[in-house]
Amino acid sequence: MKAVIKQITMENFKCYKNKVVALDKDSNIIRGLFGTGKTTIKNAWEYVLGMKVDFEPEENKMRVGSKESPIITTVEVSVQVNGSEYLLKRQNKQKYNKSGDYTGSDTNYWFDNMPQNKIEDYQNNLSTLFGVSYDYLLHLVDIYSFNTDKNKFDKTARRNILFDIFKTEKIVNEIKDKYDILKPYFIKKYDENNIGDIVKENSRITKKGLDSSNTLLDDKKKQLINYIDIDFDGFEKSKVELQNKINTIKENSNKTNKNTLIQEKIDLMTKLQAELNREQIKVSNATRTHNDLLYKLNSSKNDLMSKISNIKFTAKNTNSQIQDLQVDIEMLKDTEFNKTKTICPTCKRELEKDKIEKLVNDFETDKKEQLLNTQNKLAELTLKASEYVTSTNTLEEQLQVLQGQINAENGTSIDNSNVETLNSKITEVSNEISSLRMKEVKTTINTELQELESEIDTINSQLSKKSIKENLENEILELKTKIKDFSIKEQENIILKDSLDKYVIEKIETTQEYINKNFKNNVSYNFFTQLGANAENNVRLECEPCLNGITYNNLSNGQKLLVNMEICKTLQNVFKCNMPIWVDNFQDYNSKIESDSQLILIETISNKENNINNILEI
């Protein structure tokens, strides 16, 4: 298919009040001083194709009308497609409010003198006329827009468009089959960005767990240092020896009533001390059990929150698909048979009634089939969305239960009243012993007994630390186990990230090589930059056109024109659609442009020159 612009007529369009531009079928040059309206002629072609062109009254020298006399902007383009001429027309009428303020405009379209009820009808007619999807027309009009207009195409959009145009899905699926570790994510329709987010979140959770466990482990080790050098076995042995000495002294001495009373008090205090040691161990164990339960409850809470987040993310994507399908259904319902198809494109006469009926019946049958398929798919996705909501509600109920358990556990206090009571009793008995001993001068035997008992008290004080040491050692073992588990998860995440990076590199390298085979004259696209090992991501995705390996931003204006021209021609070859090609700033290019398409070259000059063939002076 070859399209040729024969004539462009502009009325009240930007800087032109009335302007008619006739073009040659092969090559044209629009030449003029800066700011004389050369690019506006290209804008008129974009405008009549239904693309966005700024022409508000306060911009681009557009005339301002009034409530009584609104300005009507009209652009008509006569275009020849495969030898047949068609007239494309777009018209904007300014609108004003009751106060006379400009509020916008109404837009209408005509296709070959037939008014179009909807912009979608007009776009469909253009797609049929030029033999290419309307979405791709924009890439075939202006050689600069695809690579330089960031408002229309960022690097991600350009890359996805190229992948779609050159049908790389089969190649990508073959690459996906190589990475078993990523297949569960591909089955869930996750792309590399989704998987990358999951890797980052897993890394964050694992790092947080490792850091927390290592910090707690260091703290427990520091506490253990205070008990590690205590010889508990030696103290136990010394205590037995001292007790034997006390028993011997008591057996060999004549005990007075007072000494007997003192000994009873000492025995009582020993029992109280033993009971105190047991209570301290109970308190220590209860504290440990309390902390362990809180840790398990919080871990379960984090797992539930992660599951809820993943389900909500999947539900969000599903709801987006549902909305798209609902829009498709409404569009299908509103689709009506195009009456222009009842006119023979050759003779311009209406087709026979039976042919028209067949066309209408075929259209309605196809429409019902598409509508049924779309509705079935919508029902399937709606069921999934409902399941996601049910799953989320169930998990959130579990999360509330867990939070209630955590709150209840946090509100629980360890009963330490027995320890306090026993300490009070020990102090009381100790004071009684001291009082009894002060009533008379201590005998040598009593003094020796007191010294031995003091030594035993010191030993008991050290032995009471044994249970604390054992608890610390058990906690350290548990923390080491947790750290080992986190380390395993961390290594699994590293392997997943490494596989993801390799997949991304292989995917882009392979698709880049496949796509670049279609371009000539040393023109290619660079789809990624590989970063250092210390970077958060090993690959930064790009979509940068190159000439002889030199990136677009480092090229001269003339080289950029060559690159854009080659890309535009290649895309036209892919679609088998030779659209008119507009080249702005042609003065920067010194070589001859060869193309099977109609060329409209826009050149800015510093002063007026003599007019020559196929040159329109502005």
pLDDT digits (tens, 9 = 90+) for 436-458: 776 553 455 678 788 888 888 88
How confident is the model at residue 444, as a pLDDT? 59
467: confidence class by pLDDT, cuts 50, 70, 90: confident
Q: Bigger pLDDT: 152 or 559?
A: 559
Q: Which domains does the chain have, with CATH numbers?
A: 3-131+577-617 (3.40.50.300), 200-489 (no CATH)
> Could you read off the pLDDT of 141-174 as tens digits, one per residue?
777 777 776 666 678 888 888 888 888 999 999 9
How confident is the model at residue 151, as a pLDDT? 62
How confident is the model at residue 55, as a pLDDT? 59
To the nearest 10°, the Cα dihedral for 295, 296, 297, 301? 100
Query: Residue 574: in which H helix or E strand, if any?
Result: helix 557-575
pLDDT greater than 80 at residue 324: yes
How confident is the model at residue 60, as a pLDDT? 40
Give dist(CA 259, CA 330) in Å, integer: 104
* Among 90, 94, 114, CA closest to 104: 94
Contact 416, 350 (CB under 8 A): no
Contact 118, 112 (CB under 8 A): no
609: confidence class by pLDDT, cuts 50, 70, 90: low
How confident is the model at residue 534, as a pLDDT? 47
Give dist(CA 569, CA 107) in Å, integer: 32
262-286 mean pLDDT: 86
If one counts every other C-beta atom within 10 angstroms of the C-beta of residue 331, the result is 11
CA distances from 531 to 195, 501, 539, 541, 550 (A): 19, 11, 6, 10, 18
Alpha carbon 612 to chain centroid, angstroms: 56
DSSP one-letter code for 57: T
pLDDT greater than 70 at residue 295: yes
> Could you read off the pLDDT of 188-247 as tens digits, one per residue?
888 888 898 999 999 999 999 999 999 999 999 898 888 888 888 888 898 898 888 888
pLDDT greater than 50 at residue 59: no
Return the ∠ at Cα 48 (arms to 46 and 50), rounded to 5°: 75
44-52 mean pLDDT: 90
pLDDT greater than 80 at residue 258: no
How confident is the model at residue 101, as a pLDDT? 87
How confident is the model at residue 8, as a pLDDT? 96
Contact 589, 562 (CB under 8 A): yes
476-504 mean pLDDT: 92
568: confidence class by pLDDT, cuts 50, 70, 90: confident
Give dist(CA 381, CA 377) in Å, integer: 6
Give dist(CA 541, CA 526) in Å, integer: 9
> Could you read off the pLDDT of 65-91 as tens digits, one per residue?
787 888 899 999 999 999 899 999 999
pLDDT greater than 50 at residue 57: no
223 phi/psi in degrees, rounded to 5: -65, -40
Tell if the pTM clears 0.85, that is, is over it.
Answer: no
pLDDT greater than 50 at residue 498: yes
Give dist(CA 564, CA 581) in Å, integer: 11
pLDDT greater than 90 at residue 272: no
266: confidence class by pLDDT, cuts 50, 70, 90: confident
Q: Mean pLDDT across the chain, nearest whole number?
A: 85
Range 93-116 burial, b when 16+ CB lie within 10 A, else e:
ebebeeeeebeebeeebbbbeeeb
- Reduced to 3 states (helix: H, G, I; strand: E, B; else coil), residue 13 is strand
How confident is the model at residue 108, as a pLDDT? 94
